[in-house]
Amino acid sequence: QENLFQKVVAHAKEYGFVFPSSDIYGGLQAVYDYGSNGAELKNNIKKYWWAAMVQMHENIVGLDSSIFMDSKTWKASGHVDAFNDPLIDNKDSKKRYRADVLIEDHMAKYEAKIEKEVAKGKKRFGDDFDTEQFLATNPNVLRNKAKIEEIETRFKKALEAEDLADIKQIILDNNIVCPISGTANWTDVRQFNLMFSTEMGSLADDSNRIYLRPETAQGIFVNFLNVLKTSRMKVPFGIAQIGKAFRNEIVARQFIFRMKEFEQMEMQFFVKPGTEMKWYNYWKDARMKWHHAIANDNEDYRYHDHLKCAHYANAAVDIEFKFPFGIKELEGIHSRTDYDLGAHQDLSGKKLQYFDTEENKNLVPYVVETSVGLDRMFLSVLTAAYTEETVKDGDKEKQRTYLKIHPALAPTKAAIFPLTKKDGLPDKAREVMKELKYDFNVSYEEKDAIGKRYTRQDLIGTPYCITVDHQTLEDNTVTVRERDTMDQFRMPIAELHSFLDKKASL
């Protein structure tokens, strides 16, 4: 699996998906740029999200708020005082770690053991295997589950009490060692605020301090009244936004999984107090369906209910994805109560309320949030898509690598090839391009043998290759070759548009 991850990272760079930032200077830690194919994939994920949220819901509208906000925003939201990570240094390796990540990685080892048991059980009992019953009764599973629960409960308590000494003790008691030095020679745990700050204007005193937003959500909260007044929305309704967020992540690792500059796709859904759990469950379900709709394997996703909620939430669940380096958070769904609007109301002195016609009074709405990292989503799509297989090549066998990206998300929907550079085939192929390029991202290629061109398109996940040959000149049909099955069939040029529309549109 780790090996797979390294391959995906290398592939992403080699085929124009993701480059380290400032690459010619050696790369900037945990900051990345998206290349030609990466930018397309990223845009398609955004479109897919925006369509599912804003276009498909009559009661959700979009917003594009600025990155810079009045610093009071972050005071009210709790980020100035509470957006901290507990850090610990290993004195031998001189490496810095987030204590919570060390502990979570440790717990993941017990989860992996449980998964191994389940896999063994499945193998032994075949179709008769009852996963739920196995999880509830198998002694090895129960032992590992108890261990996870013990650590999680203690850790939650320590976090809530901000008991940094106990967080260190949890690390020591569980024999968690530095992955580099293999030792437990640690400094004390200390808190570290994740917000980047700078000064606005010329005076470098504290009143000019301004933060790069660590989440897009607050831009939505401070615009609640503006949107309510201008959009004709009535509670329950949502505001959706896609935008950059910045966190000074210390343990920035795992490629684009944890970045210092990243993008979020967030939607805040404003509801009548008391109805939040209904909407929380609605969004929990709706968001999983959204992931499944483009998934290669639904089994790659699971819910993880939070035992510990952030300071602003009364219920929280993660949608987790099976990344090559472990099962990790992809999206968070949080019932945020009236924490944010209430706090902004207190600090700004503005009433952030709506008139509830049933109660006949003004109320601060409750909020259910869905928040997914665009870059993390990108990584999940890329890792699930990376496929190596052995295929027949005449009498021999050969390795084939391709990206099995859902056609709606694929950077290029179709590549159009003239079979040869002669006999008017390039002109005909250009005509086909013209038919399609207004509605689909298509590309044209005439270099090298057809087989080589197929291979190049496979590597960037193009779902269809369209070849114009001599028969095309006679009957206006082309050969369509499918990426996943490598099947080929003929189709009239006149049908290509509706074919791609059906197969490769959102």
Confirm or deny that 259 is annotated as ligand binding: yes
Confirm or deny that 159 is annotated as ligand binding: no
Q: Which residues of 206-224 are buried (b: 16+ CB within 10 A; e: fewer)?
A: eeeebbbbbbbbbbbbbbb
With CA atoms as reference, report the closest residue to 463 among 444, 445, 486. Answer: 486
User: What are the C-alpha distances in Å from 384 to residues 2, 8, 85, 111, 412?
Assistant: 14, 10, 30, 21, 18
Q: Report CA torsion sign: 258, 260, 263, 268.
A: positive
CA torsion, points 105, 109, 110, 115, in degrees to nearest 10? 120
Q: Is 371 in the site for ligand ATP (CB under 6 A)?
A: yes
Whether cis (ω within 30° of 0) applies to the bond prior to 273 is no
Gap between the Cα atoms of 336 and 309, Å rounded: 10
Q: Is 332 in the site for ligand ATP (CB under 6 A)?
A: yes
Q: Is 373 in the site for ligand ATP (CB under 6 A)?
A: yes
Give me 48's structure tokens: 């897919």
Among 331, 338, 458, 469, binds ligand ATP (CB under 6 A): 331
With CA atoms as reference, report the closest residue to 221 among 317, 343, 84. Answer: 343
State the binding string over 438-477 for ligand ATP (x if CB under 6 A, else -).
Answer: ----------------------------------------
Closest approach of Cβ 67 to ligand ATP, in Å?
A: 15
Backbone angles phi, psi at 443, to 5 degrees: -130, 165
Among 79, 376, 404, 428, binds ligand ATP (CB under 6 A): 376
Q: Is 330 in the site for ligand ATP (CB under 6 A)?
A: yes
Nearer to ligand ATP, 310 or 486 (CB): 310
With CA atoms as reference, report the closest residue to 375 among 462, 287, 245, 251. Answer: 245
Q: Is 176 in the site for ligand ATP (CB under 6 A)?
A: no
Among 11, 42, 154, 258, binds ligand ATP (CB under 6 A): 258
**Residue in the block written with tokens 């109560």:** 337
Closest approach of Cβ 320 to ligand ATP, in Å?
A: 9
Q: Is 329 in the site for ligand ATP (CB under 6 A)?
A: yes
Other CB atoms within 10 A of residue 354 CB = 19
Q: Is 322 in the site for ligand ATP (CB under 6 A)?
A: no
**C-alpha angle with apex 376: 409 to 181, nearest 5 degrees?**
145
Closest approach of Cβ 376 to ligand ATP, in Å?
A: 4
Choices 35-43, 258-266, 349-357, 435-443; region in contact with ligand ATP by CB under 6 A: 258-266
Choices 145-153, 180-188, 342-350, 373-381; region in contact with ligand ATP by CB under 6 A: 373-381
With CA atoms as reference, report the closest residue to 441 among 43, 121, 112, 32. Answer: 43
**Residue in the block written with tokens 């191994």:** 116
Residue 186 per-residue DSSP state: B
Gap between the Cα atoms of 466 and 417, Å rounded: 6
Confirm or deny that 374 is annotated as ligand binding: yes
Nearer to ligand ATP, 248 or 477 (CB): 248
Q: Is 249 in the site for ligand ATP (CB under 6 A)?
A: yes
Gap between the Cα atoms of 383 and 497, Å rounded: 29
E-strand ranges in 155-236 read 190-193, 197-199, 209-211
Per rule CB under 6 A, count of chain residues that contact ligand ATP: 16
Confirm or deny that 258 is annotated as ligand binding: yes
With CA atoms as reference, report the closest residue to 242 among 80, 337, 380, 375. Answer: 375
Choices 42-50, 175-183, 329-337, 429-437; region in contact with ligand ATP by CB under 6 A: 329-337
28 within 8 A of 256, measured Cβ to Cβ: no
Closest approach of Cβ 13 to ligand ATP, in Å?
A: 18
Among 74, 110, 262, 283, binds ligand ATP (CB under 6 A): 262
Q: Is 375 in the site for ligand ATP (CB under 6 A)?
A: yes
Q: Is 372 in the site for ligand ATP (CB under 6 A)?
A: yes
Closest approach of Cβ 237 to ligand ATP, in Å?
A: 21
Choices 268-276, 335-343, 365-373, 392-400; region in contact with ligand ATP by CB under 6 A: 365-373
Among 42, 79, 213, 247, binds ligand ATP (CB under 6 A): 247
Gap between the Cα atoms of 72 and 207, Å rounded: 11
Q: Is 383 in the site for ligand ATP (CB under 6 A)?
A: no
State the binding string over 191-220 for ligand ATP (x if CB under 6 A, else -).
Answer: ------------------------x-----
Closest approach of Cβ 460 to ligand ATP, in Å?
A: 23
Confirm or deny that 488 is annotated as ligand binding: no
Gap between the Cα atoms of 46 and 377, Å rounded: 10
Binding site for substrate, residues? 98, 215, 262-266, 369-373
Binding site, residues? 98, 215, 247-249, 257-266, 329-330, 369-376
Binding residues for ligand ATP, per CB under 6 A?
A: 215, 247, 249, 258-259, 262, 264, 329-332, 371-373, 375-376
